Chains A and B, each alone.
Chain A
Amino acid sequence: MFTSSAKLLLAALLCVGCATASAADLYLICNSRVPLSAADVRDLFLGEKQFAGAVKLVPVDNSAAQTAFLERVLKMNAAKYSTTWTKKSFRDGINPPLVAGSDAEALADVRRTPGACSYVTTPTPPDVVVVSRL
């Protein structure tokens, strides 16, 4: 009986722990079969780079960490990012990145989708590639 309470509490505390730890780091992660370099990150999330070798890239925004990512990597705010993608879609007929709602969801997308890349706030398991620590 007590064990279940402890498990529940532990799970909740882990979640809260994630919340406080996430303020600092960002990790760019990719599906294990994606040969991507850190220098390509900006082009990837602005639709300028859609292939890495023969692999079609699938950028996935992580809405929970997007503000920090835009500020640190793309050097723009959400409004400009949105406008940039509207123009890109209209001119080139490509779609903006998919959007995951959390680190877990972003991680699941990256694991599941060949060519997928995203960014998360926590260190990741070994079955995805950490392209760079941002």
Chain B
Amino acid sequence: MGTTKHPRANRGRSWVGALLVAALGHSPVTHAATNDSDRIAVLEQKLDQSLQLIRQLSARVQDLEAQAAHGAPPEADKRSGTAAAAPPAAAAQPGTPAAAQTGAAAPTPPDTAQRLAKVEQTVNQMAASAGQHADEGLATHGFADVGIGNRNAEFPQYQGADIAELDFFLTPRLGSRTRALFELNFEVGSDGNVGVDLERAQIGYQFADSATVWLGRFHTPYGYYNTAFHHGQQIATSLRRPRFIEFEDHGGIMPAHTVGAWLTGSERVGEQKVTYDVYIGNSQRITGGKLDMNNAGNTHGSTIVGGNLGLLLSGALDGLKVGVDVFQTRIEDEDPLPPLPAYVTQVRSYGAYAAYDTDSWEDIAEFHVFNNRDLTGHTGTHHSDAGFLQMGYRAGRYTPYARYERGAFQQSDDYFAAQATGSSYYRTALGLRFDVDLVSALKLELAQTHLTDRVISSYDEALLQYAIRF
């Protein structure tokens, strides 16, 4: 220690030493706050290292002081000027390493002083930029998944490997009350080609925790699954959505998206929490055998209107959410060509759900009843229903799960008959999710699907999926 006499080298080491002292203040060691013996041992080790550095630093400073005393400081004024030109030291908090560094730099040689000033400037800029992360900027997140199987998980007519989707969602920081959410999805469609979809485009104003109004295109808040997971395969335990609540262009028979206005919020009532959603938007239509959410509006001004009321329980039932939902819409089937009349159906859905999400369990049950009426007077009123029960147990990085789902859809109801995937079915599935790390998961699912009315058939699936989030 202190054996090297080269002044430039000494100055360099001194500078590094000062940096290390400054860095101590920001070291994670400063903030370790657990009581276990390992952390204490680590702290003691780092304390010893710190003391050793201090001794080295002290020797360097003494060397520098000695050199300054012999080498004359003709540029003392220049040093002062440099210090003045540096950003104000006021940015450094009193008592912080940066402030201490400022006080210690005075008697050092001019070159060292300049370098210290630069270091100080850099530290100040870093501190300032760290503070500026506050209110503005564009946060980008996303999901992606790929798969392989004896069938495609979404389109069973295909088999082999597949790219499922790449999903970006943006949540820009716009201010204290204005909010925005955009979700852009690249996904493979039923024709095997990659398509781009603006899944969500919603801009909102938050009045309070209990009330946010959104305008735009959003996930229709029916039941639990549609808003909880949607395209986020990595955060969903299972490999895919229940078939009847798939996306409209993936075989779903419910309107997964709505373009309109949505009022949502929550309020604590004692220890429990009540959540609610009320929405109104363009009624959907059926075209090409699929539901379409009428992004541009519709030609007849009819609407979908719905609501969802949930209760988050606490105490012994912490993690349990129960709720009910309802929506009504007017769906026009645009596929029949003139002179055939277009069917128009009033779709009314009542739902109930329960979700139990804890460190160990993720269980979801959701059930919907449809009371549909043919507004063109041809087929009258129809009753159908659909639901699923999924249970998963989190055992470390492994989560085995099982799901049963069924849809019993009246084929005399044009709303279901007009949809390519509107046939009744039931499906059983067993799966295993393995969390590779925090942001990626491998899922294996074995499933058996039975189609029970339009076409009587069944098929088995063995599917593997690799899903990530970022």
Contacts and interface: CB of A to CB of B under 8 A. Distances in A.
A11 B104 contact: yes
Interface string A54-83: 001010001111011101000000011011
B436 to A, nearest CB: 12
A98 B35 CA distance: 26
Contacts of B47: 16, 19-20
Nearest to A93: B181
Given A26-B33, A82-B438, A87 B228 contact: yes
Given A5-B61, A19-B43, A104-B96, A121 B228 contact: no
Contacts of B62: 5
B438 A15 contact: no
Contacts of A113: 134-135
Interface string B325-364: 0000000000000000000000000000000000100000
A19 B48 CA distance: 12
B185 interface: no
Contacts of A79: 438
Contact of B209 (A18, A23, A48): A48
B57 A4 contact: no
Contact of A13 (B18, B54, B65, B107): B54
Interface string B13-27: 000001001001111
A62 B173 contact: no
A12 B107 contact: no
Interface hub of A48, A82, A93, A105 (most chain B Cβ within 10 A): A93
B43 A4 contact: no
Contacts of B85: none
Given A16-B47, A19-B30, A112 B131 contact: yes
Contacts of A86: 141, 232, 235, 469
Given A19-B27, A79-B438, A8 B100 contact: yes
Contacts of A51: 206, 208-209
Contacts of B69: 1
Contact of A90 (B24, B96, B101, B232): B232
Interface residues of B, number: 74
Indicate the size class of the contact surface on chain A. 35 or more
Consensus secondary structure, chain B interface: mixed
Interface in A1-47: 1, 4-5, 7-16, 18-20, 22-26, 43
Given A90-B169, A93-B179, A12 B57 contact: yes
A72 to B, nearest CB: 8
B24 A16 contact: yes
Contact of B100 (A7, A49, A100, A121): A7
Contacts of A49: 209
Contacts, number: 190
Interface hub of A14, A23, A99, A121 (most chain B Cβ within 10 A): A23
Contact of A56 (B26, B177, B232, B266): B177
A67 B266 contact: no
A7 B104 contact: yes
Interface string B135-163: 10001010000000000000000000000
Given A4-B106, A7-B100, A113-B134, A15 B32 contact: no
B51 interface: yes
Contact of B54 (A9, A82, A90, A100): A9
A102 interface: yes
A5 B30 contact: no
A113 B135 CA distance: 9
B31 A102 contact: yes
B68 to A, nearest CB: 8
Interface string A102-130: 11110111001101100001000000000
Contacts of A22: 30-33
A19 B65 contact: no
B46 interface: yes
A89 B142 CA distance: 11
Contacts of A14: 95, 100
A23 B24 contact: no
Nearest to A65: B31
B264 to A, nearest CB: 8
* List of 9 A-B pairs having minimum Cβ-Cβ separation, nearest first: A11-B100, A64-B31, A68-B33, A93-B181, A56-B176, A15-B24, A8-B104, A19-B30, A1-B65
Interface of A: 1, 4-5, 7-16, 18-20, 22-26, 43, 48-51, 56, 58, 62-65, 67-69, 71, 79-80, 82-83, 86-87, 89-91, 93-95, 98-105, 107-109, 112-113, 115-116, 121
Given A12-B97, A93-B204, 4 more contacts: A15-B30, A16-B54, A48-B273, A101-B26
Interface of B: 18, 21, 24-35, 39-40, 43, 46-47, 50-51, 53-54, 57-58, 61-62, 65, 69, 93, 95-97, 99-101, 103-108, 127, 130-131, 133-135, 139, 141, 169, 171, 173, 176-177, 179-181, 202, 204, 206, 208-209, 227-228, 230, 232, 235, 266, 268, 273, 359, 438, 469
10 contacts: A5-B58, A16-B51, A19-B30, A20-B47, A24-B35, A49-B209, A50-B206, A50-B209, A93-B180, A93-B181
